């Protein structure tokens, strides 16, 4: 098979654009089991996010946006995917630039804020456990980076003192997941 055929085969096997949980099986499993009050709270947060995202585009485009790009589910799935990419044994032909990594770290930052807005049942239940497990796996697949060697390429979008940044900004992957 030539290079062009391999490229077409890869493109043909890509995920469906509406599947937020592509390559995030743990998040998919947790979402399938979330109780109704937690799902309702997530829906409220997603509705607020949708309005924010709509407010940032031209009026002619607003009604075409029907779901937030950065939904709660997407942020969990993004965090799971980056953790999986960093773990030993991950092999994928998906393009993953270093700029996507800092976007995923920003998404992880937002999960702390979102979790505080969810009911205790979510924080202490399956979502809280999922986040703790993903964070533990991230720590296992990364090493401290006190010199901040990735900072020229990986920077948080929110201005915060270094001391206030999450631990994920101060670690680097053992195995770099970007191309």
- Which of 128, 130, 133, 105 lies closest to 118, judged by CA? 128
pLDDT of residue 21: 94
The pTM of this model reads 0.85
Phi and psi angles of residue 163, each rounded to the nearest 5 degrees, phi first: -65, -25
pLDDT mean by block of 10 residues, the chain; 179 residues: 43 60 95 97 97 94 92 96 89 81 92 96 97 98 94 87 90 86
Q: Which stretches of 56-173 are DSSP H helices?
A: 59-62, 72-86, 98-117, 120-124, 126-140
Helix count (H) and strand count (E) of the chain? 8, 2
pLDDT of residue 71: 96
């Amino acid at each position: 098979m030539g290079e062009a055929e391999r490229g077409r085969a890869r493109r043909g096997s890509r995920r469906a654009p509406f599947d937020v949980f592509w390559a995030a099986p743990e998040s998919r499993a947790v979402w399938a089991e979330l109780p109704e009050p937690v799902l309702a709270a997530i829906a409220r947060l997603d509705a607020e996010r949708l309005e924010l995202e709509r407010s940032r585009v031209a009026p002619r485009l607003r009604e075409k946006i029907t779901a937030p790009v950065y939904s709660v589910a997407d942020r969990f799935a993004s965090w799971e995917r980056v953790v999986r990419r960093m773990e030993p044994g991950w092999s994928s032909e998906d393009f993953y630039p270093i700029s996507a990594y800092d976007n995923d770290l920003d998404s992880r930052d937002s999960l702390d804020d979102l979790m505080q807005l969810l009911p205790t049942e979510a924080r202490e239940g399956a979502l809280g456990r999922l986040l703790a497990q993903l964070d533990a796996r991230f720590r296992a697949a990364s090493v401290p980076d006190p010199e901040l060697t990735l900072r020229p390429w990986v920077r948080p979008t929110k201005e915060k003192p270094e001391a206030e940044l999450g631990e994920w900004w101060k670690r680097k992957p053992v195995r770099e997941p970007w191309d």
